[in-house]
């Protein structure tokens, strides 16, 4: 698809900065370098501009085109929610089936809507594959979810209380849909969304070992080069759809065409949602609500090792943006850049470095997670969830797209409105490194049905690895943060992006000996381990 100006360009010049948009599109390959990509925009349901560049497969020199189908990964979640709403006028009548899927679960169970809104409180199953001993490249079959569900006893917060991203929510929805309708999920997608939207090339490629159109995803970067990414996961409902740029732009045209229809599926999943306490929620039905150039936007990203994609719909401007990479550059940032360029908003100027007194490690009272604030040119960063969040200092507080951090006595208040979370952060003491020798040994988690954690300390280094029904994982570095608090760094896992940093908090018996630990990351918190050796 060429990037030439549409014939109606003169009619939209007052609304869209076409020259800035063309320049931003031209700059994508250099601003987000990698083997290949595709991007396009629609205005009022009509093509505005598009590009496809580079290669779908470097070794075969197969070019990337607007018809090359790539995994859209977690963008699939909104399709699952639309299929649910289309197939069942009252989806909550399926809630009773959840008990059979997770028979050991104790406590309040989430509603179907809370699954759709990532408010279930369930731990993410892709994060748990790390604790079950999986290596990044190994197969994960459809039936491999069952052992996890068999041991699922609790969540990490009560349903409807908070937001936490959880792929398990949509995997459960997929299983419920197929069981209740007797139809494969691909048929439900095709019947309710793909056919009406004209997405003629869309397919369900749940087995990531067999990508469509022989497309290859790549790990690496411009400094170190790119190597083919190896994936072995089977995912359905939470991800799994492959589609081309042409398919995704057809989807965006359908969204625009049905925008005023109260029965329109995208209109329905775009409606405001709330937490159980009535607080408005930014995430619902597989869509994240955000602001771009001061306008409300709905959209979602997707990630698999070797692939990144993002789509945005800005209803008030009737503007849609789609970005697809077969590498791991920031597709979300690229989509935002294109939207801002089209709407005439200048890029934000670099921030000044944050004040040094913010810089230290903190521990969250509710989540039990370590939060680390660092300072650098261009502001600072917060490491609390999956990746680093850019921080700016503003009116005595630190702000990021997801967080606001304010002082409270000796501690901090971390407010994350999208999660309905107000977290009190306690400063961690700066202390000499703790001897890792007393951590060494074997730990067992009843929360995970007997999965194990092994810690080894040797030659001044400490490593941890996990063993479970998926095998025995690779050793990961264990880093001291504060007395009885350590970080486990997971940079590669079966899902992408990886869970990131896990907090390991030791517990001791009456004699002061290490008796166990709690392990958690943003996606899966508060898992207990007892020391056995």
Yes or no: say if 340 and 293 are a contact pair by the CB < 8 Å rule: yes
Contact 55, 36 (CB under 8 A): yes
Crossing angle of helices 18-31 and 331-342, rounded to 10°: 160
Told to judge if 77 belongs to the known catalytic residues of this protein, a careful annotator would answer yes
Question: 465, 473 in Cβ contact below 8 A?
Answer: yes
Q: Considering 66, 76, 77, 467, which one is annotated as catalytic? A: 77
Report the distance separating Cα 423 and Cα 416, nearest Å: 8
What tokens does 470 get? 């998926």
d(CA 269, CA 267): 6
Task: Return the HEC string of 185-207.
Answer: HHHHHHHHHHHHHCCCCCEECCE
Alpha carbon distance 528, 89 (integer Å): 40
Contact 1, 39 (CB under 8 A): no
Instruction: Tell which residue, 257, 267, 248, has the closest CA to residue 322.
Output: 248
Distance between CA 112 and CA 315 in Å, rounded?
A: 27
Q: Strands 319-325 and 307-314: what pairing?
A: antiparallel
Structure tokens at 126: 């892709």
Burial class (CB in 10 A: 0-12, 13-18, 19+), 139: middle
Distance, CA of 369 to CA of 356 (rounded, Å):
22
Query: How many C-beta atoms surround the C-beta of residue 13 within 10 A?
Result: 10
74 carries an active-site annotation = yes
- CB count in 10 Å sphere of residue 93: 11
Residue whose pair of structure tokens reads 């009509």 in the numeric block: 46
Using the 8-state DSSP alphabet, how is residue 218 labeled?
E
Q: Calculate the CA 63 to chain-centre distance.
A: 28
What b/e sequence results for 303-332 when a residue is b if at least 16 CB atoms lie within 10 Å of its CB, and e otherwise? bbbbbbbbbbbbbebbbbbbbbbbbbbbbb
Write out the E strands in 377-459: 379-383, 388-394, 397-399, 404-408, 411-416, 421-427, 441-445, 451-458
Instruction: Provide the 10 A C-beta neighbour count for residue 533.
Output: 8
β 62-63/370-376 pair status: unpaired
**Radius of gyration of the chain measured on its C-alpha atoms:** 23
CB atoms within 10 A of CB 398: 24
Distance, in Å, from the CA atom of 389 to the CA atom of 211, rounded to the nearest integer, reads 31
DSSP H helical segments within 328-447, as ranges? 331-342
Active site residues: 74, 77
């Amino acid at each position: 698809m060429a990037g030439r100006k549409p014939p109606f360009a003169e009619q939209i010049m007052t609304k869209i900065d076409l020259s800035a948009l063309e320049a931003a599109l031209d700059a994508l390959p250099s601003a987000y370098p990698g083997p290949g990509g595709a991007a396009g925009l629609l205005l009022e349901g009509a093509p505005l501009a598009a590009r496809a560049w580079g290669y779908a497969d470097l070794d075969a020199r197969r070019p990337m085109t607007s018809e090359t189908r790539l995994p859209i990964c977690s963008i699939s979640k909104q399709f699952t929610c639309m299929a649910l709403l289309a197939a069942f006028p009252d989806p909550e009548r399926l809630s009773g089936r959840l008990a059979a899927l997770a028979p050991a679960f104790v406590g309040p169970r989430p509603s179907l809507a809370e699954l759709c809104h990532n408010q279930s409180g369930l731990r993410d199953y892709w994060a748990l594959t790390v604790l079950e001993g999986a290596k990044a490249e190994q197969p994960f079959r459809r039936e491999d979810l069952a052992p996890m569900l068999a041991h699922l006893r609790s969540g990490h917060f009560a349903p409807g209380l908070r937001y936490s991203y959880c792929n398990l929510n949509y995997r459960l929805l997929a299983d419920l849909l197929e069981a209740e309708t007797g139809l494969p999920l691909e048929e439900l997608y095709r019947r309710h969304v793909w056919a009406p939207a004209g997405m003629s090339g869309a397919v369900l490629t749940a087995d990531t070992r067999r990508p469509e159109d022989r497309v290859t995803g790549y790990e690496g970067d411009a400094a170190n080069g790119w190597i083919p990414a190896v994936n072995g996961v089977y995912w359905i409902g939470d991800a799994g759809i492959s589609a081309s740029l042409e398919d995704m732009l057809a989807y965006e045209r359908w969204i625009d065409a049905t925008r005023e229809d109260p029965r329109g599926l995208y209109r329905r999943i775009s409606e405001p949602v709330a937490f159980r306490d009535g607080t408005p929620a930014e995430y619902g039905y597989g869509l994240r609500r955000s602001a771009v150039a001061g306008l409300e936007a709905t959209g979602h990203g997707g990630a698999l090792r070797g692939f990144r994609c993002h789509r945005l719909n800005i209803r008030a401007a009737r503007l849609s943006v789609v970005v697809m990479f077969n590498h791991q550059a920031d597709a979300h940032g690229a989509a935002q850049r294109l939207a801002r360029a089209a709407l005439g908003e200048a890029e934000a100027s670099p921030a000044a470095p944050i004040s040094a007194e913010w810089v230290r490690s903190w521990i969250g009272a509710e989540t039990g997670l370590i939060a680390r604030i660092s300072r650098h040119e261009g502001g600072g960063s917060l490491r609390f969830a999956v990746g680093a969040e850019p921080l700016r200092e503003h009116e005595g507080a630190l702000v990021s797209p997801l967080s606001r951090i304010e002082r409270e006595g000796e501690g901090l208040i971390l407010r994350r409105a999208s999660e309905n979370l107000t977290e009190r952060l306690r400063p961690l003491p700066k202390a000499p490194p703790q001897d890792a020798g007393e951590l060494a040994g074997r730990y067992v988690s009843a929360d995970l049905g007997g999965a194990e954690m092994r810690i080894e300390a040797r030659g001044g280094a400490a490593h941890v690895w996990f063993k479970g029904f998926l095998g025995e994982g690779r050793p990961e570095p264990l880093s001291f943060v504060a007395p009885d608090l350590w970080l486990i760094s997971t940079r590669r896992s079966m899902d992408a992006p990886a869970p990131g940093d896990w907090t390991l908090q030791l517990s001791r018996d009456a004699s002061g000996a290490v008796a166990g630990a709690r392990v958690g990351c943003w996606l899966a918190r508060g898992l207990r381990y007892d020391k056995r050796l």
